Amino acid sequence: MATAEAHRVVAVNAQIHHPACLPTMASLLRQIVAGPRMRHPEADLDLCYVTDNIIATSGPSSSYPQVAYRNPLKDLVKFLDSKHGSNWAIWEFRAEGTGYPDEEVYGRVKHYPWPDHHPPPFGLVPLIMASMRNWLQDKEAEGRVAVVHCKAGKGRSGTISCSYLISEEAWTAEDAMKRFTERRMRPGFGNGISIPSQLRTIRYVDRWTKNGKHYMERPAEIVELHVWGLRDGVKVAIEGYVEEGKVIKKFHQFAKAEREIVRGPIRKETGFADVAMEVMGKAKEKTKTMPKDAGDFVESQNGDGTKDTGTSGLNGTNSEIQPGGGDVIFRPSERIVLPNSDINIDFERRNKSKYGGFTMVTSVAHVWFNTFFEGNGPEQSGKVDDSGVFEIEWDAMDGIKGSSRKGTRAFDRMAVVWKTPAEEARRASVMVEEPGEGEPVREMSSADWRTSDDLSQDFEKKLGLRADMAASASVSRANSPGPSTGGSNAGDDVPDEIEGVKQHVPPTDENLLSGVTGDQRDTDVEKVEEATSKEDGEVSATAKKLKNPTTRSQDEGHQ
């Protein structure tokens, strides 16, 4: 009996790993990775037509094992050649590397890379818009299409697709985002663009477009941070873009000596038990209300006179907040001057075990904003306010790797006081205008295409246990490389590509979108993330078992 069962298992395994089954398994893996993103019914590729001349697709690959669960580059090129001849070109935004050399797409690729899960450095936007416009609106060449891709063909690709529709096709921001969601996402799997900082950029683009497309790139200085309800164990860093936007650099990490507690104690956590209690909402003290003077600072302006608390139209924070936090002002001991107007405030909260050896990362969040827009630059013909305040609540912060997951509350509300450093601004301010029709457009240098697509700017940023390291005793960051327990390693999963997108056929059949309501789209994305994250490691592990066809054919030749 046992022998018969063993023979059956061997037979099934042999059947699964038979060369004839490998293409089918690879196709199945691609469907799993696409998840809530619908595949193109004709090409069986993870792409969609946002409009008749803009195609959004996940990043293709020509190397193994990625080609087993992502768009095979040769299949994508074959599809584009068959449908559009030579009238297609690619715009890619991957700071982690494209995964293919330019020659494999006939050199028809434009590079404007920036890190995954983040908004574009705004200085790139006028260049990308002009580059796409010159290609698509060339009167001597009709029928052209622009193919935009990042990694999943969602956040970065969606931001640029919507920006183009707003700035070059006169769409409203709401209509552009609605169209991208309809064409890219399966009904019921949330919005196409969901990262708050990317949504903020789309609002910036709308204001930029409505006010003459003027943009001044200039240095910015962080004066101080006001944080209400700050919990224990929170590290705060100031970051910005360098190397043409391909790299995020940490310019300053606040030390305890730079922190002044102005109201209430910051209750020190006594161990993992306290963290668990906070997660369960069973803190030791009663709930308290936000101080009345928490809004004394000037709130961020949208440019139309309305106030922006940083929530970007998302769910705001309830006035009832968890106890245990103090009101704090961070003042840098040395000046913090960033080279451009894009600023990222990064938070990480860690709690150490009282028995030593391990640290629990319980909160990870960040937020990007641009001082040109927060200083009302578009509405003042490029003349930016010399100083300002950007304010945001915890619930409106960006989560881990583009998700809404941030862990336990690290603070309640934050206000960043910034100014323009006069001397640096005189030396380094640059007016960035969108190049005119037919004018040459500067392109950025590409990232190394051989770079593993399992590495991103977020490195090991995740929640959970970590081994305590002496190097992180004084400065601790969520993306500091180090051992962690639980979950898959950076090289063993397929991050982000399971973010819920679909394919859409060329918009000759509008009936495919009938019956799709907003209520169907606006469902809880976290349910998708929770269900699909469990598949990450399994997909990549299975993909690595698939043999490279070249290797397989060589093996068969020796038989």
Looking at residue 5, its amino acid is E
Torsion on CA atoms 472, 473, 476, 482, rounded to nearest 10: 30
**DSSP codes joined into one string, 375-411:** TTTGGGTT---SEEEEEEEGGGSB-GGGSS--BS---
Q: How far apart are the first and last CA of the chain?
A: 33
**Token output for 249:** 């650099």
Query: Cα–Cα distances in Å, from 22 out to 14, 434, 549, 553?
Result: 12, 48, 9, 13
Distance CA(464)–CA(485), nearest Å, equals: 7
The stretches of 85-154 forming alpha helices (DSSP H) are 125-136
Cα-to-chain-centroid distance, residue 67: 22
Q: How many C-beta neighbours within 10 Å does residue 15 have?
A: 10
Contacts of 361 (CB under 8 A, 6+ apart): 348, 349, 350, 407, 462, 463, 464, 465, 466, 478
Q: Give the number of residues written for the chain.
A: 559
Distance CA(255)–CA(474), nearest Å, equals: 8
Distance CA(329)–CA(326), nearest Å, equals: 10
Paired with 349 in beta bridges are: 234, 363
Chain position carrying tokens 């006081």: 417
Chain position carrying tokens 């001849």: 85
Active-site residue identified among 21, 48, 150, 162: 150
Contacts of 106 (CB under 8 A, 6+ apart): none
- Whether 150 sits among the annotated catalytic residues: the reply is yes
Residues annotated as part of the active site: 150
